[in-house]
Amino acid sequence: MKWESDLMRDEMRVPLILIAGLFCQTVMAQDVFDPSKSRLKFEARKAKESIKVDGRLTETDWWRCPVASGFLQVEPNQGDSTMFQTEVRILFDAEHLYIGAYCCDTIGYAGVRVPDLRRDFDFFTNDLFSVSIDGFYDQRSAMAFQVNPYGALRDLLVFDDRLFDRDWDGVWTAATQVSDSGWTVEMAIPFATLRYSVPRETTTVQMWGIQFTRIIRRENQVTSLPLFPRAYTPYRMSYAGD
């Protein structure tokens, strides 16, 4: 009878759905790892001279900075080394936080993928460099500043890696330069734009969370420092460095 065949077909679907669900849970369990108990440390150095935001990183202060490197793949092969490495330096002065990055690419101009130059460009179709900052150091809040190789800006506010304010447009600037060996980006973010806790007592050190991300679109690689699970976004600040 028809109703009997329909019932048998429905009963056969149940094990398949359960198997598919168990498979997805297994894959997710393999992808997700706990945040490191020993977070990576990055140091911002005070600039001794004026920084011209032109994307060239030629000022002596940039070369006095510690270099943050060791990006790993988030996608497609979580934890593997990247096709091209990225080097990041951090400076500050009385008014700005400066982020400088060199994004290596051996074929230079031909390697970059930039389909549009609008403000708040599409995250998934562009090459980009991104910094996410947790100024409250609560591992929940992120301010993200992103640039593609031709200098278009993208920014957003995120809370708990779930609530996204993509309409927010902060006051900041950046410049880039593309060369035969890759591209460089220089960001200047005013402290007046950033949201952060002010210590009650005078101190020479203030701790923030920070996460760096680079997309190499033609290779479909998402890379980051520190590494975060591909099940999450670059705004899961419990995986950030200090």
Assigned architecture for domain 45-239: Sandwich (2.60)
Tell me the pLDDT of the chain (242 aa) as tens digits: 444 444 444 444 544 444 445 444 444 445 899 999 999 999 999 999 999 999 999 999 999 999 999 999 999 999 999 999 999 999 999 999 999 999 999 998 999 999 989 999 999 999 999 999 999 999 999 999 999 999 999 999 999 999 999 999 999 999 999 999 999 999 999 999 999 987 776 666 789 999 999 999 999 999 999 999 999 999 999 999 99
pLDDT at site 30: 56
Beta-bridged to residue 18, according to DSSP, are none
> For residue 238, is it left (φ>0), alpha (ψ between -120 and 50) or beta?
alpha
pLDDT at site 205: 78
pLDDT at site 204: 66
Beta-bridged to residue 212, according to DSSP, are 131, 225
pLDDT at site 197: 85
